[in-house]
Amino acid sequence: MDQWTVVNPYSQREIGTVPLSGWDVADAWFDTAVTLHSQRKNRLPAHERIRVLEKTAGLMEDRFAQLADLIANEGGKPLIDARVEVARAIDGVRLAVKELLHPGGRDIPMDLTPAGAGRTAFIQREPIGPVVAISAFNHPLNLIVHQVAPAVAVGCPVIVKPAGDTPLSALAFVNMLHEAGLSEDWCRFIACGQEVAEKLVTDPRAAFFSFIGSARVGWMLRSKLAPGTRCALEHGGAAPVVVEDTADVAAMIPLLLKGGFYHAGQVCVSVQRVFAPKAMARDIAERLAEGAVKLTVGDAVEETTEVGPLIRPQEVTRVADWVDEARGGGAEILTGGEKLGETAYAPTVLLDPPAEARISREEIFGPAICVYGTDGLDESIARANGLDVAFQSAVFTNRLDVAMRCIEDLDASAVMVNDHTAFRVDWMPFAGRRKSGHGTGGIGYTMHDMTQDKMAVIRL
C-alpha cells in the first residue's frame, strides 16, 4: 500500500487519498529538525511565531465552512458538531498566542542561606526540541491543533502523523501554517505505516512525543521511547456519572444525552456509566431512551443528522457484540441495541448490565449509555472508581455536601457538578489517570511540556 484511501464512514464513498512516506523521508526530516533546534541562529523569534499563528487563525476563519464539511465527511461528526470543532480549533490557535505572554520564567531567591548570598538567579523556558505527534480520528482538526500549535508557538520543530482514517483535516491545517509563512521544515505532515511511525516515535532525536489514541498503542510506544524522550499520552476511559437522589432529573437528561451520544459516543470522556439509586434508575433510563429514540442517525454531512456513523464498519460489529453480550447477561435494552446498516449503530440505553460485561468494564467508544441501580452514594462512588481507567467524571445533586464529597472521592482528573462528563474548554487541564493517560493536555499545559527550564546564576 502506497497511500491512504479516505472514505466517508457512513456511505463508504471515497473522498480522497494521501500518499505514504517511507523512513528515508522521515529520517531526513528528523535531521533537519535537529539542525533547526540545535543551531540557535535558526530559531524563530516569538514575533514571527505569533504572526504565523495569527495568520493561520485568519485562514481558518476564511475556510470555516470547508473545514467543517471536511470533518463531517472524513470523520463522521455531524455538521452541527463539526462547526463547533472548527470554532474551538481557531480559538486554540489564538490561545497558543496568548500563552506566549506567560512563558513561566521566574526569579529564584539566592540569599536564603549564606551559601547563596551575592548571587542573582532566574529561570527561563526554552524549547525542548523536535516533537513527534501522533493523533486520533475523533477530532481530526482540533486534536492536531492541540498537538501542533503549541509546538509552533514555543519554537519546536514538529512532525505530525494523523489517524489514517482522518488525515485530510490535519493536512489542511499544516498547509495553512505553511501558507501563513511557516517554513515547511518547522512542521511536517507525514502519512506512514505502523513501522515508520514506531521508528519516528522511538528515534533518539525525538525530544517530545505527543500521543492521542488507544491505551494499548500508547503505553506500548512509551515503553520503547529512547532515553531522554519526554511524552504525553491521552487515552480513554469509561466515564462515570453519579446521580444523588436530590438531582434535577429533568435538567440532567439532555446533558447526559449530549454527553453520551455526541459523535456517536466516540469521545474519550463520553458518558458511559450512570450510577443512580435503585428507586430512580429505571425512570432515568426510560427518560434517556425517550430522548435517544428521537435522535436522527445518518450521514454526518446532512444538516439534520444528530448522530453519525462509527468510524469503521468493524467498529459497528464490535459495539453490537458488546451490547449483545450485556443483553445475554441480563441487561435490559430500553432502546437501540441494533445495527443501522453496516456503518451506524442505533443510540442505545441499557439498564443494569452485568458488572462483568465488557460494556461495564471497558470503554465502548460507541453510542451506548448504561444505567445501574445502586443502594446509595457509597456504592455509586465505589463502582465509579472500580476500573483501571480514570478520566473525567460527573455528579448530579442539589446538595453542596454531596458535590464536595464526590469531588474529593471520585478518582478522576476532573469532576463535573451538574454537567456531563464530556465537558471541556481548551485552556483547562485535560488528563487521564492510571491507564487513561500520562501528563496533562490543554494548550498552555502542552506548551509547558514542550519547553524546559534553564537557570542562570549570576555572581555579582
Cell numbers describing residue 245: 437522589
Closest by CA to 372, choosing from 382, 32, 364, 328, is 382
Sheet holding 208-212, edge to edge: 187-189, 158-161, 131-134, 208-212, 230-234, 437-438
Hunting for cell 465537558 — which residue is that?
423
CATH 3.40.605.10 intervals, the chain: 3-235+436-459
* pLDDT for res 432: 87
Residue 460: its pLDDT value, please?
86
The predicted-structure confidence for 103-131, as pLDDT tens digits, reads as follows 777 899 999 999 999 999 999 999 999 99
CATH topology of domain 239-426: Aldehyde Dehydrogenase; Chain A, domain 2 (3.40.309)
pLDDT at 103: 75
Most distant CA pair in the chain, distance: 77
Q: Model confidence over 14-40: pLDDT tens digits?
A: 999 999 999 999 999 999 999 999 988
* Grid cell for residue 447: 506548551
Distance of CA 355 to the CA centre of its chain: 27
Superfamily of domain 3-235+436-459: Aldehyde Dehydrogenase; Chain A, domain 1 (3.40.605.10)
- The rounded distance, in Å, linking the Cα atoms of 78 and 318 is 22
3-state secondary structure 101-115: CCCCCEEECCCCCHH
pLDDT tens-place string over residues 40-59? 888 899 999 999 999 999 99
Which pLDDT score is estimated for 102?
Answer: 83
Question: Nearest Cα to 146, choosing from 210, 214, 205?
Answer: 210
Q: Compute the distance between CA of residue 447 and CA of residue 153 in angstroms, rounded to an integer.
A: 8
Reference 383, options 369, 398, 393; nearest CA is 393
Q: Give the pLDDT score at 41.
A: 87
Residue 195: burial class (beta carbons within 10 Å; 0-12, 13-18, 19+): exposed
Is 381 within 8 Å of 410 (Cβ atoms)? yes
Q: Tell me, what's the pLDDT at 194?
A: 93
Is the Cβ–Cβ distance between 34 and 26 less than 8 Å?
no
For residues 52 and 34, the answer to whether their CB atoms sit within 8 Å is no
What's the chain's length in residues? 460
What is the chain's pLDDT, residue by residue, as a tens digit (460 residues)? Answer: 699 999 999 999 999 999 999 999 999 999 999 999 998 888 899 999 999 999 999 999 999 999 999 999 999 999 999 999 999 999 999 999 999 988 777 899 999 999 999 999 999 999 999 999 999 999 999 999 999 999 999 999 999 999 999 999 999 999 999 999 999 999 999 999 999 999 999 999 999 999 999 999 999 999 999 999 999 999 989 999 999 999 999 999 999 999 999 999 999 999 999 999 999 999 999 999 999 999 999 999 999 999 999 999 999 999 999 999 999 999 999 999 999 999 999 999 999 999 999 999 999 999 999 999 999 999 999 999 999 999 999 999 999 999 999 999 999 999 999 999 999 898 888 988 889 989 999 999 999 999 999 999 999 8
- Type of residue found at 200: L
Q: Enumerate the CATH 3.40.309.10 domain ranges in the chain, comma separated.
A: 239-426
Phi-psi sector, 7: left (phi>0), alpha (psi -120 to 50), beta: beta
pLDDT of residue 1: 65
Q: How far is CA 327 from CA 119, 240, 333, in A?
A: 71, 20, 7
The span from the CA of 168 to the CA of 165, in Å, is 9
